[in-house]
Amino acid sequence: MTDEDKNEMIVTPWEVKGKVDYARLIREFGTQPLTQELRQRLAKYMGGVHIQLRRELFFSHRDLDTVLDLYEKGIKFVLYTGRGPSGPVHIGHLVPWIFTKHLQEAFDTRLYFQMTDDEKFVVDDEAVLSETTGLAYENALDLIALGFEPKNTFIIYDVEDIDLLYDIALEVAKRITYSTARSTFGFQDSTNLGWIFYPAVQAVPCFIHKKLTGENVPALIPAAIDQDPYWRITRDIAAKMGYYKPAQIHNRFVPGLGVGGKMSASEPETAIFTTDSSELVKKKIWKAFTGGKGTIAEQKKLGADPDVCTVFQYFLYLFEEDDKKLEERNRRCKAGEVMCGDCKKELAEKVNKFLGEHQKKRLKAKDRIDEFHIKR
């Protein structure tokens, strides 16, 4: 395998590999870039350009403008996002959920949140259903810990709640041919039937608000861009079923601590899990991949590279709200005025402060989990 092959970009809902070229994804998926103008439009409702918009974590969309036009005419929208419970939640997962909460507060909307224990079971040969289901409830604690309120937050657990979803899933499934599904998702002869049906289930929360309330409004989906194929097929059939097309706002993948910003539950040392102890957090951050040089002398002379540094990315997307301070950190890094150890220490402190609070709230969430269940 050549280096180029190793770096080849693959982005599907089930696999992200290589160096991700986001401009290319916008072109190939046919989404729209999130323009300055749209950012400003959101800012009007969100009390300023929120950190994850300003730093362009969210960078692409479909029909966000349409949804805002409708909102301004008095037609509200609902939010929909979700999580495939394949392991414990790490900090990278929380970032788009935090943004979703800001959207929810700004627009005073419902959130439907789907836990896809079915999906994670069918797509992984090794997965055990009772385990993905168990993880769905564990993962829900992290969502609740972020401060969502049960009055407008509805968690769907696919396996437990399939009776609520099944009629809409059938209506969706009947309108999508195998040929469309195969070309959208790359299904093979060896793909199992559960996997092939699953996209119909992920489409359901786009439409479920009408079944529950009688109100027909569009859904806006904050999601990582790898989920786009699901919404492409859903958008194609929405009008035929009498619904609005679901709109989306897409985020980049939040980098992990490994080389190339990898964070993966299957490589636990590259991800900070929400239940990690403060000692473990320090250790993981200490080993994080940075843009530093081999020796201190060299780094003082030549400076380091914040653009490839995973530690810097955490300040960028979550832990340094102040633009001037971020800019200063960037400058000092490039000038060789700050060493990687200094940044790591500061980040570990910030992460541990955040996680200390999060872990307390996560414990409390155990008593409240039923209040958030869509079937309550």
User: Is 221 near ligand TRP (CB under 6 A)?
Assistant: yes
* Listed ranges 40-48, 219-227, 279-287, 338-346: which one lies at the site for ligand TRP (CB under 6 A): 219-227
If one counts every other C-beta atom within 10 angstroms of the C-beta of residue 372, the result is 20
Q: How far is the CB of 93 from ligand TRP (least distance, A)?
A: 9
Residue 111 sits in the site that holds ligand TRP (CB under 6 A): no
Does 116 bind ligand TRP (CB under 6 A)? Our answer is: yes
* Closer CB to ligand TRP, 124 or 328, in the complex: 124
Please tell me whether residue 81 binds ligand TRP under the rule CB under 6 A: yes
Three-state SS at 10:
strand
Interacting residues with ligand TRP between 161 and 190 (CB under 6 A): none
Q: What tokens does 184 get? A: 């959208």
Structure tokens at 237: 């059939």
Cβ-Cβ contacts under 8 Å for 64 (sequence gap 6 or more): 32, 34, 38, 42, 220, 247, 248, 249
Nearest distance from C-beta of residue 224 to ligand TRP, angstroms: 7
Q: Does 313 bind ligand TRP (CB under 6 A)?
A: no
Question: 3-32: which residues touch ligand TRP (CB under 6 A)?
Answer: 13
CB 94 to ligand TRP: min, Å:
13
Q: Token match 């040089």: residue?
A: 293
Neighbour order of strands in the sheet with 32-33: 32-33, 58-62, 247-251, 219-224, 78-83, 111-115, 153-157
In the complex, the smallest distance separating the C-beta of residue 96 from ligand TRP, rounded to whole angstroms, is 8
Closest to 273 in 3D by CA, of 96, 87, 121:
87
Determine the number of helices (DSSP H) and then strands (DSSP E) in the chain. 18, 9
| Minimal distance, residue 85 CB to ligand TRP, in Å | 8
Rank residues 158 and 320 by Cβ distance to ligand TRP and give the closer one: 158
Indicate whether 60 belongs to the interface with ligand TRP (CB under 6 A): no
Contacts of 167 (CB under 8 A, 6+ apart): 211
Side-chain half-sphere exposure of 321, counting CA atoms within 13 A: 4
Q: How far apart are the first and last CA of the chain?
A: 53
One residue of 132, 227, 234, 313 binding ligand TRP per CB under 6 A: 227
* Residue 110 lies near ligand TRP (rule: CB under 6 A): no
- Alpha helices of 51-128 — where are they, by DSSP H? 51-54, 64-72, 91-107, 117-122
Say if residues 29 and 233 touch (Cβ distance below 8 Å). Answer: no
The correct pick among 118, 119, 161, 320 for binding ligand TRP (CB under 6 A) is: 119
**Residue with the two structure tokens 């400076």:** 303
Interface region with ligand TRP, contact rule CB under 6 A, candidates 4-12, 20-28, 78-86, 189-197: 78-86
If one counts every other C-beta atom within 10 angstroms of the C-beta of residue 98, the result is 15
Cα 239 from Cα 232, distance rounded (Å): 13
Give me the least distance between CB of 272 and ligand TRP, in Å please. 18
Q: Which is nearer to ligand TRP, 201 or 285 (CB)?
A: 201
* Amino acid identity for residue 80 in this structure: Y
Interaction of residue 132 with ligand TRP, rule CB under 6 A:
no
Q: Is 202 in the site for ligand TRP (CB under 6 A)?
A: yes
Which residue stretch of 79-87, 97-105, 314-322, 342-350 sits at the interface with ligand TRP (rule: CB under 6 A)?
79-87
The answer to whether residues 204 and 246 touch, using CB atoms and an 8 Å cutoff, is no
CB of 72 to ligand TRP, least distance (A): 25
**In terms of CB distance, is 79 or 340 closer to ligand TRP?**
79
Residue from the set 61, 62, 83, 284 that interacts with ligand TRP by CB under 6 A: 83
Nearer to ligand TRP, 252 or 329 (CB): 252
Binding site for ligand TRP (CB under 6 A): 13, 80-84, 114, 116, 119, 202, 221, 223, 227
